[in-house]
């Protein structure tokens, strides 16, 4: 079975095997992670874990239409950063399987990019 060829890393510094991060990407991720607050400081503490477990027990299936997988993650409809007062409110929760939650998060957070400024008035 053929394997994919190596690729040039995004910064153009090195050739890396397909599917592997380059050393500069690993350094960027390490720097980002070091500057990031702990999960507890971001609102994912013992109270969140308890509420999450209870919610998943009551909502065992992914909320994505057409998805039949078991729910393993709880998503905040309005983020903790946006609405900290809704952090533990079930009305702000939805259950997802891992792939659906990752897809939703990638779309909502745009992989960390700032959304374009709207010119609609």
pLDDT of 121: 45
Exposed/middle/buried for 15, CB within 10 Å: 0-12, 13-18, 19+? exposed
Domain count, the chain: 1
pLDDT of 112: 53
Structural domain includes residue 90 = yes
Structural domain includes residue 6 = no
pTM over 0.95: no
- Give start and end residues of each alpha helix (H) in the chain: 23-35, 46-58, 98-109
- Residues 93, 53: contact at Cβ < 8 Å? no
Structural domain includes residue 13 = no
Structural domain includes residue 119 = no
- Bridge partners of 96, per DSSP, are 73
Place of tokens 């910064």: 11
**What is the distance between the terminal CA atoms of the chain, rounded to a whole angstrom?**
56
Which residue segment(s) compose the domain that 83 sits in? Answer: 46-111
What is the pLDDT tens value at each position of the chain, 121 positions in all? 567 888 888 788 888 888 888 888 888 888 888 888 888 888 889 999 999 999 999 999 999 999 999 999 999 999 898 999 999 999 999 999 999 999 998 888 775 555 555 555 4
CA distances from 47 to 23, 62, 97, 101 (A): 37, 22, 21, 21
Structural domain includes residue 41 = no
Structural domain includes residue 12 = no
pLDDT of 69: 97
């Amino acid at each position: 079975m053929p394997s994919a060829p190596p690729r040039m890393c995004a910064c153009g510094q090195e050739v890396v095997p397909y599917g592997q991060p380059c050393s500069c990407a690993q350094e960027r991720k390490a720097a980002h992670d070091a500057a990031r607050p702990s999960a507890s400081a971001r609102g994912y503490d013992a109270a969140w874990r308890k509420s999450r477990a209870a919610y998943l027990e009551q909502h065992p299936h992914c909320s994505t239409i057409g998805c039949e997988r078991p729910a393993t993650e709880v998503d905040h409809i309005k983020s903790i950063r946006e609405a900290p007062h809704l952090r533990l409110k079930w009305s702000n929760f939805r259950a997802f399987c891992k792939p659906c939650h990752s897809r939703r998060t990638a779309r909502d957070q745009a992989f960390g990019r700032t959304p374009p400024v709207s010119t609609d008035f």
